[in-house]
Amino acid sequence: MNRIDIVYGGKPYSLGGRSIESVQVEIDGAIAAGLPYWLRVNSGEGRYEDAYLLIAPGISVAMVNVKPNGVNHEYEGEVDGAGDEPFEED
């Protein structure tokens, strides 16, 4: 299962079962609409509780696409910080 770790206001949150791309599209749409938006995420460890993060221009949000066991299933290789993207020649 996919998990996205989120840092907001210096505190950790998470989202499960979503792709980082879908969350980026959701956040981009909220900012483009110019209206404040509340993103529902998980808070806590072990037993998750709903938390709502305010998404608006000027508010920092960091997302990390967590890969189970360090495997990037899109490329079927070990993730070591290098080579996360496929190599393209010019």
CB 13 within 8 A of CB 43: yes
- DSSP-derived secondary structure for the chain: --EEEEEETTEEEEEES--HHHHHHHHHHHHHHTS-EEEEEEESSSS-EEEEEEE-TT---EEEEE-GGGEETTTTEE-SSS--SPP---
Query: Which pLDDT tens digits describe the chain residue by residue (90 residues)?
Result: 688 999 999 999 999 889 999 999 999 998 899 888 999 999 987 778 999 999 988 888 999 988 776 555 454 443 344 444 444 444
The pTM of this model reads: 0.68
